[in-house]
Amino acid sequence: MKPADNIEKLIKKLRYKAGDEAHNRVLNNVFQALEMRKKQKSAVSQPNIWRIIMKSPITKLTVAAVIIIAVVIGINQFGGRLGSTSVAWADVVKPILNARTATLDILIGSQEHQMVIHDEVMGSRIRRTVLGVKHSDIIIDLEQQKLLTLDHAQKTAAYIELGGLPDLQNYVELLRNMILRLQNKPDFQVDDRGLQVIEGQDYIVFVAESDKDTITIWANPETALPVRIEQKTPNMQIVCNNLQFDAVLDESLFSMEVPDNYVIQKARIDFKESSESGFIESLRIWAEIIEDGQFPDSIDLGGIAETGLKLDEGLKRLNLTDQEGLEVATRFGQGLVFIRFFKGEGQWYYAGKGVKLGDSDTPIFWYQPKDSQTWRVIYGDLKVEDISPENLPKEAY
């Protein structure tokens, strides 16, 4: 056969390769350029996620799910030491202790940027809707540590497995365990504030306080059913409204089955990797994507709640595949988990409000790791230093 007979096939065989020497030479030169480039970059000019856009509704929902998980963990972080008992208190907490199902609204953060979650709870499953995330539901199976997000407008569904989390409780179980724990304390005391009128309605009000934590319960004076619970800690404020216990709920609401004709995606978010470096990456994503180059005013639960609404806008500027978007969301979530788990293992302070990403002189976060004599201080350029207690920045919340 002449070479001209199958010319295209022959041209495809016309391939070249570099010898070892040439390969290494070029590779070294390119890597030198890469290293030089890295040296030229400051923390601010590190890979800019700001320009990247995430389009997929599924991924957006996944991001919402990560934030919601952080919220669940945030709620579970609450603990406290309360005091004294009374018949009225017992009456008020009785429905909480015995409830099999519940419906409630959870309000997180300040009124201006409030995240509102509506939960329907049955056993270890929660059906959750979030104000602002339209046409979507999230079913949370706490026992299996699994989420199902449903986007009814796009007819899409995503199963998200959660790894590396501690046992999670629904809000009713949390309240129940907290009350039992408190009541078992010998110095248990409750401040009975008597009747208060709110929007024309009478309520019995109880306030239980510990060092820095406060729980206030409003209950119907006739039925003794709690209708509103407010929890305040230095890093969190949660209000539960419209509480109803033992509401009649259809089990199908909590089904983990996907309706017919929905496109299904699966993902796994592993939180066991949550670490200081993960938290730092979260801060970077927070500053770059959510706050336009500046650290957030707050990283408490209210601050996290605000990301739920702002992140959606920020992510419109991203352009990743679902998988890549999920990676960003996961990294962000892992960092949040680090901070949510942290309370109870030591103290932490945040002072990033108004600080720009890349500011190498300003400490934005410092914490004392468990059993450590020194503190870890993170600066605006995200470098970390070990600092002795006497050299710590001024305390800030």
Which stretches of the chain bind another protein, using CB under 8 A? Answer: 2-4, 7-8, 10-19, 21-23, 25-27, 29-31, 33-34, 37-38, 45-49, 51-52, 319-321, 323-324, 327
Could you give the CA distance from residue 91 to residue 226 in angstroms, rounded to a whole number?
Answer: 9
Give whichever of 27 and 198 is closer to another protein, judged by the CB atom.
Answer: 27
Residue 142 Cβ vs another protein, minimum distance, rounded to whole Å: 32
Q: Which of 109, 131, 165, 63 is nearest to 300 (CA)?
A: 109
Nearest 5°: the CA angle 154, 156, 159 is: 155
Give whichever of 51 and 135 is closer to another protein, judged by the CB atom.
Answer: 51
Q: Which of 209, 206, 179 is nearest to 192 (CA)?
A: 206
Cα 372 from chain centre:
26
DSSP letters spanning 107-162: EES-STT-EEEEEEEETTEEEEEETTSTTEEEEEETTTTEEEEEETTTTEEEEEEE
Give whichever of 45 and 111 is closer to another protein, judged by the CB atom.
Answer: 45
Residue 267 Cβ vs another protein, minimum distance, rounded to whole Å: 15
Could you give the CA distance from residue 129 to residue 91 in angstroms, rounded to a whole number?
Answer: 30
Could you give the CA distance from residue 286 to residue 325 in angstroms, rounded to a whole number?
Answer: 14
Give whichever of 25 and 100 is closer to another protein, judged by the CB atom.
Answer: 25
Residue 63 Cβ vs another protein, minimum distance, rounded to whole Å: 16
- The two tokens of residue 15 are 């391939």
Give whichever of 51 and 272 is closer to another protein, judged by the CB atom.
Answer: 51
Q: Decide if 119 contacts 127 (C-beta within 8 A).
A: yes
Residue 273 Cβ vs another protein, minimum distance, rounded to whole Å: 16
Report strand pairing: 125-130 vs 115-122. antiparallel
Give whichever of 119 and 288 is closer to another protein, judged by the CB atom.
Answer: 288
Residue 217 Cβ vs another protein, minimum distance, rounded to whole Å: 47
Residue 31 Cβ vs another protein, minimum distance, rounded to whole Å: 8
Give whichever of 19 and 389 is closer to another protein, judged by the CB atom.
Answer: 19
Q: Decide if 191 contacts 209 (C-beta within 8 A).
A: yes
Residue 324 Cβ vs another protein, minimum distance, rounded to whole Å: 5
Give whichever of 17 and 370 is closer to another protein, judged by the CB atom.
Answer: 17
Residue 332 Cβ vs another protein, minimum distance, rounded to whole Å: 13
Could you give the CA distance from residue 273 to residue 76 in angstroms, rounded to a whole number?
Answer: 19
Q: Annotate 215-249 with b (16+ C-beta within 10 A) or e (fewer).
A: bbbbbebeebbbbbbbbbbebbbbbbeebbbeeeb
Residue 2 Cβ vs another protein, minimum distance, rounded to whole Å: 5
Farthest-apart Cα atoms in the chain, separation: 103
Q: Which of 376, 380, 374, 346 is nearest to 362 (CA)?
A: 380
Could you give the CA distance from residue 183 to residue 167 in angstroms, rounded to a whole number?
Answer: 22
- The two tokens of residue 174 are 């949390």
Give whichever of 91 and 327 is closer to another protein, judged by the CB atom.
Answer: 327
Residue 69 Cβ vs another protein, minimum distance, rounded to whole Å: 23
